[in-house]
């Protein structure tokens, strides 16, 4: 424990330099009155292709500074800061190379924050981080519906226990999520339809209207708390080149924003944005997309409160 201007904090859990959207940095988030807590997970050793998503949280926070000036974000009619209290607790620290330790530490961190009555938005890191995040959320919320935006279903059963293509094969086996109430949107790689997930593949989602997609999401996820996970490669590489495994034929930022804005009535209890790898980015386009998606997620949550 160190003494600081702000009291004592346990610096073995978190570190970093500046907060998303200039939200305050708070190393003791569980002790604050925040509604939502941001954490970065700089873990990318479960990546199958091009690594580098460990630098995602830093890139997203940096890009978010360009979004901080707007009072009422267009097209919303209120100021996020007046409705929702958000703090950023920096990045989780862990011993690099010890994946089991990372899982334990991530789960403990989530558990502690949720137990203190807050909700979490997390930045990856590769998509593997969602598995320990789901384990932590399960302890508070029980079995969840997964609302999953991605080019890949990540339901493969090959690879190691620490593979960013396997989380949603393992999560239902651990009882964390119910595939029958879960939906995967933007998929454009091979997958096994027998696993029970509803898949709105990218060709179909691109042809459907936003209203039709929102209706489908509501219909499938009905009845369970929803965990929202957003792999930035759901977006077409034109909108998100800076990611480990980009796939052509994806979705646009415009359509994604409109879908997110339609989810106001849903009970979304946790959110993440993963797989931003700034080394492959151009002009911060991917980091800006991820930062804006996270901002829209917060506006969505704030829009429920009046
Ligand atoms: Mn993916």
- Compute, in angstroms, the gap from residue 28 CA to the centroid of ligand 1: 32
Length of the chain: 306
pLDDT score for 160: 87
Q: Which residues surround ligand 1, an ion (CB under 5 A)?
A: 150-152, 231, 233
pLDDT score for 96: 87
- Compute, in angstroms, the gap from residue 275 CA to the centroid of ligand 1: 7
- Compute, in angstroms, the gap from residue 233 CA to the centroid of ligand 1: 5
- Compute, in angstroms, the gap from residue 168 CA to the centroid of ligand 1: 12
Rounded Cα distance between 111 and 245, Å, is: 30
SS3 assignment, position 273: strand
Write down the residue that tokens 């460990």 correspond to.
Answer: 54
- Compute, in angstroms, the gap from residue 231 CA to the centroid of ligand 1: 5
pLDDT score for 5: 40
pLDDT score for 17: 53
Record the pTM.
0.94
Q: What angle do CA 95, 100, 105 make, to 5 degrees?
A: 65
Crossing angle of helices 99-115 and 130-141, in 10° steps, is 40
Kindly give the confidence (pLDDT) of every residue in the chain, 306 residues in length, as a single tens digit, with 9 standing for 90 and above: 344 444 454 544 444 457 999 898 998 999 999 999 999 999 999 998 899 999 999 999 999 988 998 989 999 999 999 999 999 999 999 998 899 999 999 999 999 999 999 999 999 999 999 999 999 999 999 999 999 999 999 999 987 889 999 999 999 999 999 999 999 999 999 999 999 999 999 999 999 999 999 999 999 999 999 999 999 999 999 999 999 999 999 999 999 999 999 999 999 999 999 999 999 999 999 999 999 999 999 999 999 987
- Compute, in angstroms, the gap from residue 234 CA to the centroid of ligand 1: 7
Domains, the chain: 19-302 (3.40.800.10)
CB 259 within 8 A of CB 214: yes
Burial (0-12, 13-18, 19+ Cβ within 10 Å), 3: exposed
Token digits for 132? 């320990």
């Amino acid at each position: 424990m160190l003494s600081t201007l702000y009291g004592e904090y346990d610096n073995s859990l978190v570190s970093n330099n500046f907060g998303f959207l200039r939200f305050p940095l708070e190393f003791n988030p569980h002790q604050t009155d925040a509604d939502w807590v941001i954490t970065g997970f700089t873990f990318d050793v479960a990546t199958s292709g091009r690594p580098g998503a460990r630098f995602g949280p830093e890139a997203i926070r940096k890009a978010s500074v360009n979004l901080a000036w707007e009072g009422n974000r267009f097209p919303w009619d209120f100021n996020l800061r007046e409705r929702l209290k958000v703090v950023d607790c920096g990045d989780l620290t862990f011993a690099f190379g010890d994946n089991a330790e990372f899982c334990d530490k991530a789960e403990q961190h989530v558990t502690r924050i949720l137990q203190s009555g807050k909700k979490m938005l997390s930045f990856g890191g590769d998509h593997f981080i969602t598995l320990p995040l789901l384990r932590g959320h399960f302890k508070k919320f029980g079995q969840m519906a997964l609302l999953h935006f991605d080019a890949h279903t990540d339901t493969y059963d090959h690879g190691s226990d620490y593979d960013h293509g396997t989380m949603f094969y393992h999560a239902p086996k651990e009882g964390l999520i119910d595939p029958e109430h879960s939906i995967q949107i933007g998929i454009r790689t091979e997958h096994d339809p027998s696993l029970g997930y509803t898949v709105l593949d990218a060709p179909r989602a691109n042809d459907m209207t936003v209203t039709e997609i929102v209706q489908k999401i509501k219909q499938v996820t009905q009845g369970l708390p929803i965990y929202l996970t957003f792999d930035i490669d759901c977006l077409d590489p034109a909108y998100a080149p800076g990611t480990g495994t980009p796939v052509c034929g994806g979705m646009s930022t415009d359509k994604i924003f409109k879908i997110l804005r339609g989810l106001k009535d849903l009970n979304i209890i946790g959110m993440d944005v993963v797989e931003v790898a700034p080394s492959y980015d151009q002009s911060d386009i991917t980091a800006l997309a991820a930062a804006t998606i996270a901002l829209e997620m917060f506006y969505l949550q704030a829009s429920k409160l009046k």
